[in-house]
Amino acid sequence: MTTFTDHDAARLLPLAGGFNFRDLGGYRTLDGRCVRWRRLYRSGKLSALTAGDVARLAGEHIRLVCDLRTPQERAQEPSVTGFGAVHRGWDQDAGHSRLRDAVASEGATPRDVQAALAATYREMPWQFARPYADVFRLLAEGELPLVFHCAGGKDRTGVLAALLLLALGVQEEVVVADYLLTDRFLDVAALQRASAARGDEAGAAGFSSLAGLSPELRAPLLRCDAAYLRAALDAVAQRHGSVPTYLDEALGIDAAALGQLREGLLG
């Protein structure tokens, strides 16, 4: 059972129209350093930010927003701008074909959905290699502070956050615990209401093509499970041996760039 602390709560930025917007700072690395606060953020969609939220984010001096959503998602729910950051997106498929097949099959069960989502996670490090590589590269080049996000800040964002923290030298157990914080901080009902207000209720979970699911089948999609993230990390280990080797071989982030990344984000 995961125990949440006041230190965890301090990560969440209190944005009225934000979803799961939190700071990745404060984590200790295996060599005794610490991820710097107010340099790197992970989040859900930024389409419902209020004027007060924009003012708050302007005070964070964020330079770059990296939107991992698909072009369709970005068009349906455009991010609110105005806080001084450059917004960047990619022409990227969401990679949910396996999930669509699983839930469309006759007699699908929650276990089938869990298995399909775990399989999707196993493919994410390569499915999203292009945007992940660009985010790593931008961070190494000093484009800080930076926020990266998808719809709920859980799946696409969760895998990238894990890879970043592991690349910085954070212990895997701590990385998994950070992933699980989404279950505490993401208000799924509010996420759904925000999408419904724009006419895209199903998009609330980031699976806009999976409308009409029963609550039983939808539940595994909306919650975090350490097994999902470990599926992605195990796949990286099996194919590349380690995260630094994955960065080099799959993303083109060599030891020099990784050193620059650590220099900018660790104190």
The answer to whether position 81 is within a domain reads: yes
Report how many domains make up the chain: 1
Q: Given this model, what pLDDT does residue 203 score?
A: 47
What pLDDT score was predicted for residue 211?
A: 55
Strands 86-89 and 64-67: parallel
What pLDDT shows up at residue 61?
A: 97
Comparing C-alpha atoms, which of 99, 95, 169 is closest to residue 126? 95
Residue 142 lies in a domain: yes
Question: 117, 206 in Cβ contact below 8 A?
Answer: no
Asked if the structure places residue 1 within a domain, the reply is: no
Q: Does residue 69 lie within any of the structural domains?
A: yes
- Say if 149 falls within a structural domain: yes
- Residue at 82 is within a domain: yes
The pLDDT, as a whole number, for residue 182 is 95
Here the CATH number for the domain that contains residue 235 is 3.90.190.10
Backbone Cα Rg of the chain: 17
Q: Rounded distance, CA 128 to CA 160, Å?
A: 9
Q: For position 204, what pLDDT does the model report?
A: 42
**Structural domain includes residue 146:** yes
Contact (CB, 8 A) for 68 and 94: no
- Measured CA to CA, the distance from residue 176 to residue 225 in angstroms comes to 9
HEC secondary structure over 74-105: HHHCCCCCCCCCEEEECCCCCCCHHHHHHHHC
The conformation of residue 39, written as its DSSP 8-state character, comes to S
Domain that holds residue 63: 6-265
Q: What is the pLDDT along the chain (267 residues), one digit of tens a residue?
A: 455 565 678 899 999 999 999 999 999 999 999 999 999 999 999 999 999 999 999 999 999 999 999 999 999 999 999 999 999 999 988 777 777 777 767 777 889 889 999 999 999 999 999 999 999 999 999 999 999 999 999 999 999 999 999 999 999 999 999 999 999 998 877 777 776 666 554 444 444 445 567 778 878 888 899 999 999 999 999 999 999 999 999 999 999 999 999 999 999
